[in-house]
Structure 1
Amino acid sequence: MNQDQASPATIYNLITMKSNPSQRRFAFIIGAIVVLISLLSVPFVRIQLVELQAYQPAIFSTVICFEFITAYVIYSQFKINRSPAVLVLFALYLFSGGMSLVYILTFPRVFVENGLFHAGTQTSAWLYVILHAGFPLAITLYMMIESKFANVNYSASKAKRLGLYTLIGVILLIIGLTYITTHFKNQLPIVLSQGKLTPLFIYGLGLPIVLITLITLIVYYKRTKASTVTSTWLCVAILASMLDVAIILCGGGRFSVGWYVARWNTFVCANIVLAGMIYEFTKMYLRMTELFQQVKDSEYNYKVLLGESQLAERKISEQSDIIERMLESSHEAIIMCDIEGRVIFANRRVEHFFERPLESGERMSSYCLGMKTADAAFDEFIDAYFEQSIPPFRKRISRLTLKGETRHYECYVNPISGEMEGTLRGHLVGLRDRTEEERIDELKNEFVSIISHEIRTPLSSIVGFIEILATRAVTEEKRAKYIETIHKESLRLSNLINDFLDLQRLDSGRQEFHFQSLDAVLLLREIVEQWQGKDNHEAELHAAAEPIFVQGDEDRLKQVFHNLISNAIKYSPGATKIDIYVETDNGKVLIKIQDYGLGIPADALDKLFTRFYRVDNSDRRKIGGTGLGLSIVKEIIEAHHGKVVVDTELGKGSIFIVQLVEIDAE
């Protein structure tokens, strides 16, 4: 409990453990022996005996050890039940042990003539009074707190702090009382004169202490009925403490028979609770031994059952792990729902697909908000299925991502049957990302459209002109023109087929590259000369006189630059010039092909190097093309560890920049 709360159940320990009749009977016998010894000594209490200085240290060294051990045992019980009343008992025995220690240290002629700490003749006597007066007062406080806070248990951290504060407080109290009785020794009232008790001690202090202790004993026994182990032995301790003071009063002074008997009562008072606890600890140990023997007798069967259980658990765990790993490694989003449509399990692919996690307990229909089928909102289908309005289904759905992209999925929903026929355990929902398939379908459709146009056009021209030449008599001038057109359309058809073959080889990884050291300036000069005058365009090369070397495949690089120059001429129909630059920049060779034509719209730049992509513009559609050239250029240049970028302005032209790695001349 984080705060002080009423405990919901009693914690089993020696403080709360109930005493049985035999335990109470044994405690009664011990108390009777203490009383009997005290009564038998009454006729002889005033007889003075020899002053045995060793008697005091012998008795009190044992008393001090017993008191501190008892305090430790009680504190260990406090750590178990953390009751405030037990903390008072801990403080009582800690105080008793500490005061007994100071008492023996300040007693005259034990260590020095007047006692340690510059003690006076009254110091030890007053410490004795304080010690015995404090015992019944502490028991009274214990009863009050036990009555008021019987069901309160501190939190572990608070109990630890209070235990530390109690220890410090008791030590400070002992130090303070020691200081008062030693520093103000000459101001203390005289309670002991020449080894004899004064009337102040007898009537002003001793008799009230005996009376208070007796009342405390009666009240405590009446309240507790010695019903617990601790209360039983505390009754004996209170009795011994009272007899201690009573015998001292009867003896009248130090080193009388009564004084020596009182020391024995002090010994009994100190060790009786500890002895009772040790006795109960021993009994608990014996009971534990018996229980252990019973457990040991059934150990074999237990181990067999445990082994079988662990084996079954391991198998179940392994199977669960395998199933979970399979579900997590799936490329599909897998969701398991209960019969009402609440989520039980969802793999990580769900969050990857739909950009937010699907929490356990969430309704599936709520998660599907925003998803659409071809004819309705998808969450309506999910709700209808879980309401058993429609059978298991397979639907294609789409959604808009946070980036504004449209993603496509295929969803299938199936029931999960129970072990008994006709029972339903839940439902399995699977979602497969088919965005790429949709894109490929679109590409295929566009491909078919492009192919049907790009192949049919030159074939129609070829077939038409061949038919004319075969069936009609034409002039030599027209024959030459028709044959030139057939040749031109044949080259166009051949280039188209070569583009398809190049793309297929690049995709399959079968395109071979033969790298060698090439002079980029010489390579571009040769290419530019071939394009001079084509379609009324002048191609001008701007390059340094000295060679610039790159590592590349000559045929493939020629293919790249022929393609780019061809595009520059094709898409600048209103211009008459293109410029080609060969430059170097920090170990890179930059080859720029600049035209002054149509330019490229900004929204087309991110798709410009995509296969079959053509800018959707009527001016460009008239020009024709398959949309494969730039994608081939990009893949060839990337195979050379370079890249191709474009800088364009709509209506003013474009600059395609090919970056290659410069090498030293061999």
Structure 2
Amino acid sequence: MKGGDSPLQNNLKVATQIFDIPSGNKQRKFAWILSLFIIIVSMAVIPFGKEMLPDIHPFLPAIISWFVFGDLITGYILFSQYRASGTIPLLVLSCTYLYMGLIAIPYALTFPGVISEAGLLGNGGQTSVWLWVFWHGGFPTGIIIYLITGLVWKDPLISKQRINKYGLMAVGGSILSVFIVFALVTLGSGWFPNIISKGNYSKLISSGVGPVIWILNVMALMLIIIKYQGRSVLNLWVSVAILACTLDVTLTLFAGARFSLGWYLARVNSILAGTVVFYSIVNEVNRLFIRLSEQHRKLSESERQLEEANEELTRLSNLDGLTGIPNRRQMDEVLSKELESSEERSLSLLLLDVDYFKQYNDYYGHLGGDHILKTIAQTIYADVKPFRGFVARYGGEEFAVVLTNLDAIGTLLIAERIREGIVELNIPHEACIASDRVTISIGGYVVAPHESIDGDELIRKADESLYRAKDEGRNRSIVNGWYDGYSDFEI
């Protein structure tokens, strides 16, 4: 942010840049091809422009209807961009298209044969042609003002109040200018020279009015090409629009009469002048929507992947890295939850310790120690899985098992199942003074339904049983706690 720009100023500049999208090579190529096409067709028609054609009554109403619709929609979209960015040149351009769309309405109403045979709204014979003059002179004038404001008014408006105030003034001025023009060509028709007689407007050139309008269009075209060179999408297609308007005027002047070949083609160029900018805006909005949809899809996919990664990270953070079973942290969480919900059922905790593991580790090495820990972990897991038990590595060579809905005898039976399963592995332990195979000692405690006890107390009681199993010679199971409704029953 330079020169102490406020966050609001910075946001407004970003909004302007978003609308001022650079034109791509494909767009510039298409614009050049379209421009060359209408130039070639227009130049080819000029020698035959005075050739008279039948009066196709639906032609002009259809052309003007589309012109009014296209220009008013274009003006509205540009005005919306002005309100978002506070950029004065956009306001000028939007009001230019508003003026073009509005002035085409009285032109259609006063044109002979469109609504009525002689035309409506006080048509004095010269009304519609002078409205055409102000119509085709208003567009290049608006473009020139647009270019000037782009030079002298570079900073966008910041205050929302000023944006609304300037917008209201500009729109009101555009509407008022159309009323003034209409009043001049009807009530003040005597101030203007006659430039049309019985559909022939050859005097449009001899009076000098037509050449002035043509020069004004050429000036606007040259200025916008020199200043912007089609670098942005908006200015690229505004350049094509003013080119089409210039060719419209050119063909009209050479045609010299209504319903001639040149006159018909000039109206087609009018359509191009009023359509290309509308097309470019709609196309960019559509492309922006596609990009946003794609970004939304990518964002959703990223969020899904992030959720999966977080779930995997959570899962890994709750697993023991060596054995692949839950770790002490997960065991504490499970035990806490089970204690909170153990009012209607019993809860058993078994602590298991590998006998003389330090001696095994010293004799067989750490890799050998790691191997039997993984083997014992998977054996314990397989033994308690049928009883929906929870197994965790409690620490070092210790493991923990959480069981529910069992009394002391049931818990002891599972403990013995685990102990015997380890013995049956027949893992040699030559450094053991009690056995030539790897064995484990198990201590447990069973919490009765509705018994009040916390996790630390339960672990302490199970640990006491484990120490007793070790003191009594190891390779054995001792379970204390609830049995058939009686507490502190020891087996």
2-structure distance, mates of 1:87, 1:41: 36
Report the alpha carbon displacement of residue 114 of structure 1 after superposing the two structures with TM. 2.3
Q: Which residue of 1 aligns with 2:244?
A: 240
* Correspondence for 2:100 among 90, 96, 99: 96
Alignment partner of 1:121: what SS? coil
Q: Which residue of 2 aligns with 1:161?
A: 165
Report the alpha carbon displacement of residue 26 of structure 1 after superposing the two structures with TM. 1.3
User: 2:210 corresponds to which letter in structure 1?
Assistant: G
TM-score by length of 1: 0.44
Report the alpha carbon displacement of residue 9 of structure 1 after superposing the two structures with TM. 4.0
Cα 1:307–1:144 change in 2 (3 A) is farther
1-structure distance, mates of 2:248, 2:94: 22
Within 5 A, what are the aligned runs for 1:266-281? Answer: 266-281=270-285
Cα 1:176–1:298 change in 2 (3 A) is same
2-structure distance, mates of 1:181, 1:307: 76
Contact 1:132 1:209 in 2 (8 A): yes
Identity of aligned residues (%): 30
Structure with higher Rg: it is 1
User: 2:91 corresponds to which letter in structure 1?
Assistant: L
* Correspondence for 2:218 among 214, 220, 235: 214
Report the alpha carbon displacement of residue 36 of structure 1 after superposing the two structures with TM. 2.0
Query: Is 2:52 aligned against 1:27?
Result: no
Q: CA offsets per residue over residues 31-67 of structure 1, 9 Å max, x none? A: 1222122122122210111112211101100010000
Q: Which residue of 2 aligns with 1:250?
A: 254
Q: Which residue of 2 aligns with 1:87?
A: 91
Gaps of 5+ in 1: 309-666
2-structure distance, mates of 1:297, 1:152: 37
Q: CA offsets per residue over residues 203-258 of structure 1, 9 Å max, x none? A: 51112221221122112111111111100000000100000000001111111000
* Correspondence for 1:178 among 170, 176, 182: 182
Q: CA offsets per residue over residues 419-443 of structure 1, 9 Å max, x none? A: xxxxxxxxxxxxxxxxxxxxxxxxx
Report the alpha carbon displacement of residue 12 of structure 1 after superposing the two structures with TM. 4.9
User: 2:90 corresponds to which letter in structure 1?
Assistant: V
Q: Which residue of 2 aligns with 1:230?
A: 234
Within 5 A, what are the aligned runs for 1:46-57? Answer: 46-57=50-61
1-structure distance, mates of 2:283, 2:299: 24
Q: Which residue of 1 aligns with 2:20?
A: 16
2-structure distance, mates of 1:283, 1:29: 21
Contact 1:119 1:185 in 2 (8 A): no
2-structure distance, mates of 1:273, 1:103: 22
Within 5 A, what are the aligned runs for 1:444-459? Answer: none
Report the alpha carbon displacement of residue 186 of structure 1 after superposing the two structures with TM. 4.2
Within 5 A, what are the aligned runs for 1:239-638? Answer: 239-303=243-307
* Correspondence for 1:40 among 44, 48, 59: 44
Contact 1:42 1:258 in 2 (8 A): yes
Contact 2:100 2:135 in 1 (8 A): yes
Cα 1:8–1:92 change in 2 (3 A) is closer
Alignment partner of 1:109: what SS? coil
2-structure distance, mates of 1:85, 1:199: 36
Q: CA offsets per residue over residues 586-605 of structure 1, 9 Å max, x none? A: xxxxxxxxxxxxxxxxxxxx
Alignment partner of 2:15: what SS? coil
Cα 1:17–1:63 change in 2 (3 A) is same
Report the alpha carbon displacement of residue 301 of structure 1 after superposing the two structures with TM. 3.8
2-structure distance, mates of 1:307, 1:27: 52
Contact 1:85 1:146 in 2 (8 A): yes
Cα 1:128–1:14 change in 2 (3 A) is farther
Alignment partner of 2:223: what SS? helix
Query: Is 2:171 aligned against 1:194?
Result: no
Q: Which has the higher helix share?
A: 2
**Higher RCO (Cα < 8 Å, 6 or more apart):** 2
Query: Is 2:109 aligned against 1:105?
Result: yes
Alignment partner of 1:90: what SS? helix
Q: Which residue of 1 aligns with 2:129?
A: 125
1-structure distance, mates of 2:259, 2:173: 34
Cα 1:277–1:8 change in 2 (3 A) is closer
Cα 1:133–1:37 change in 2 (3 A) is same
2-structure distance, mates of 1:229, 1:240: 17
Report the alpha carbon displacement of residue 153 of structure 1 after superposing the two structures with TM. 2.6
* Correspondence for 1:64 among 61, 68, 78: 68
2-structure distance, mates of 1:8, 1:123: 44
Cα 1:8–1:138 change in 2 (3 A) is closer
Report the alpha carbon displacement of residue 304 of structure 1 after superposing the two structures with TM. 6.7
Cα 1:63–1:227 change in 2 (3 A) is same
1-structure distance, mates of 2:97, 2:249: 18
Cα 1:85–1:48 change in 2 (3 A) is same
Alignment partner of 2:39: what SS? helix
Report the aligned-residue RMSD: 2.6
Equivalent residue pairs, number? 309
TM-score by length of 2: 0.59
Cα 1:175–1:287 change in 2 (3 A) is same
2-structure distance, mates of 1:9, 1:67: 26
1-structure distance, mates of 2:249, 2:311: 65
Alignment partner of 1:191: what SS? coil
2-structure distance, mates of 1:145, 1:6: 20
Contact 1:42 1:247 in 2 (8 A): yes
Alignment partner of 1:296: what SS? helix
271-280 or 211-220: bigger deviation: 211-220
1-structure distance, mates of 2:173, 2:31: 32
Cα 1:170–1:299 change in 2 (3 A) is same
2-structure distance, mates of 1:154, 1:264: 41
Report the alpha carbon displacement of residue 296 of structure 1 after superposing the two structures with TM. 2.0
| Runs of 4+ residues deviating >6 angstroms | 4-8, 304-308
Q: CA offsets per residue over residues 235-293 of structure 1, 9 Å max, x none? A: 00010000000000111111100000000000100011001111112222222222122
